[in-house]
């Protein structure tokens, strides 16, 4: 006789700062006033860069771009909880996370302008290149987290994914290995409601994405992805847990993609403008400004200075980007393999002959 055992599982949802700028003091993370200002300043910088990058694409000064708008809290709050040498595995919409992690904005513009040198990580950070294939970075992050556990180096691997990536086998395999080997990996799913044009409800029957962790034997939590304080809190708890050797975590940041999927998309074709307007009321920066004003940390002078400093920093990055010398076309050949195979050598010689 087979005896079936049915267990009841629950997923926690965390919100610290609501859309009206009110906080639940009992849930407030341990942050100083300086931390609050840095979180705010980083969100303003990311949004300023985001707006300008979109404009540059429309002017033909970069090749393509995927907006972060609406997801600043998810990226800023989570990266702020990491240590510099922790491993970051970004997806194609992780521009904000990379900026907070010290990736020069000039290099970000290089990348979106078609120059792979833009993804060279600063020495003081462990930033992996942006993953364009959906979900493949989860496996790389799992490997880094597993390696950290084996070596005992105390580092944590953090990977960013969209809700669409959770339907891919790469995500499932990475989650399974993370659970089996107790890897020091944190999976951050920015559930912005759409996998390009496919609504979240049309790609999974799960009530939450966070509950997918249950099947793989570790913790999943859903957080208000427009609440930078809540995102910081759950990510800090998750990376601390992983660093102690207590295993992985899946964090679902419940947020919204305010722009199109990319600069080649028209979201008006598949979503209701009223929905967009409702989510606009939950803007992560607006609520942070309300909270900081009430706390006496934000006034017009400080707000204007933060915006002015961000605008100046972005302008400086653009000026530097547009002065960068183009990459050497020979790099296509010389950086393909450690040792160039015969066929590639022949192609390389043909290329050099064509340039004489």
> How many other β-carbons are positioned within 10 Å of the β-carbon of residue 210?
25
Q: Assign residue 60 a region: left if phi > 0, alpha if psi is -120 to 50, beta otherwise? A: left
Task: Name the active-site residue from 47, 93, 101, 261.
Answer: 261
Query: In angstroms, what CA-CA distances link 253 with 175, 210, 223, 256?
Result: 17, 9, 5, 9
Query: CA–CA separation, 217 vs 211, rounded Å?
Result: 10
Task: Name the active-site residue from 160, 257, 287, 321.
Answer: 257
Which H/E stretch holds residue 305?
helix 300-321
Q: So what's the architecture of 12-325 in CATH?
A: 3-Layer(aba) Sandwich (3.40)
Task: Confirm whether 261 is a catalytic residue.
Answer: yes
Q: How does pLDDT run along the chain (356 residues), one tens digit per residue?
A: 566 655 668 899 999 999 999 999 999 999 999 999 999 999 999 999 999 999 999 999 999 999 999 999 999 999 999 999 999 999 999 999 999 999 999 999 999 999 999 999 999 999 999 999 999 999 999 999 999 999 999 999 999 999 999 999 999 999 999 999 999 999 999 999 999 999 999 989 999 999 999 999 999 999 999 999 999 999 999 999 999 999 999 999 999 999 999 999 999 999 999 999 999 999 999 999 999 999 999 999 999 999 999 999 999 999 999 999 998 999 989 988 999 999 999 999 999 999 88
Determine the pLDDT at residue 3.
63
Determine the pLDDT at residue 314.
98
Task: Name the active-site residue from 58, 270, 335, 351.
Answer: 270
Boundaries of every domain in the chain: 12-325, 329-356
Determine the pLDDT at residue 335.
87
Task: Confirm whether 257 is a catalytic residue.
Answer: yes
Determine the pLDDT at residue 285.
98
Task: Confirm whether 270 is a catalytic residue.
Answer: yes
- At 191 the three-state DSSP class reads strand
pTM of the model: 0.94
Determine the pLDDT at residue 10.
87
Query: CA–CA separation, 9 vs 321, rounded Å?
Result: 50
């Amino acid at each position: 006789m087979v005896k079936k055992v049915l267990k009841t599982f629950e997923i926690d949802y965390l919100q610290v700062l609501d859309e009206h700028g009110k906080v639940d003091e009992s849930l407030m993370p341990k942050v100083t006033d300086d931390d609050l200002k840095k979180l705010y300043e980083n969100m303003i910088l990311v949004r300023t860069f985001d707006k300008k990058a979109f404009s540059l694409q429309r002017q033909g000064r970069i090749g393509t771009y995927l907006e972060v708008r609406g997801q600043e809290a998810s990226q800023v709050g989570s990266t702020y909880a990491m240590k510099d040498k922790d491993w970051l595995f970004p997806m194609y919409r992780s521009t904000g996370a990379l900026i907070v992690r010290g990736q020069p904005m000039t290099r970000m513009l290089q990348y979106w302008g078609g120059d792979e040198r833009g993804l060279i990580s600063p020495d003081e950070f462990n930033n992996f290149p942006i993953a364009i294939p959906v979900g493949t970075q989860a496996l790389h992050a799992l490997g880094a987290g597993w390696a950290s556990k084996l070596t005992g180096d105390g580092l944590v691997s953090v990977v960013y994914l969209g809700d669409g990536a959770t339907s891919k086998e790469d995500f499932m395999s990475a989650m399974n290995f993370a659970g089996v080997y107790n890897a020091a990996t944190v999976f951050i799913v920015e559930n912005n409601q759409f996998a390009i044009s496919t609504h979240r409800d049309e790609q999974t029957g799960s009530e939450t994405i966070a509950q997918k962790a249950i099947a793989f034997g570790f913790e999943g939590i859903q957080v208000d992805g427009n609440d930078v304080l809540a995102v910081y809190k759950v990510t800090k708890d998750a990376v601390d847990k992983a660093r102690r050797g207590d295993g992985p975590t899946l964090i679902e940041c419940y947020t919204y993609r305010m722009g199109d999927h990319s600069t080649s998309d028209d979201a008006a074709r598949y979503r209701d403008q009223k929905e967009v307007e409702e989510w606009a009321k939950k803007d992560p920066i607006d609520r942070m400004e309300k909270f900081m004003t009430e706390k006496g940390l934000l006034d017009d002078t400080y707000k204007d200075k933060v915006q002015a400093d961000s605008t100046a920093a972005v302008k400086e990055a653009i000026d530097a980007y547009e002065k960068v010398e183009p990459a050497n076309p020979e790099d296509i050949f010389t950086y393909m393999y450690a040792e160039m195979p015969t066929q590639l050598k022949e192609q390389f010689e043909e290329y050099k002959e064509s340039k004489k």
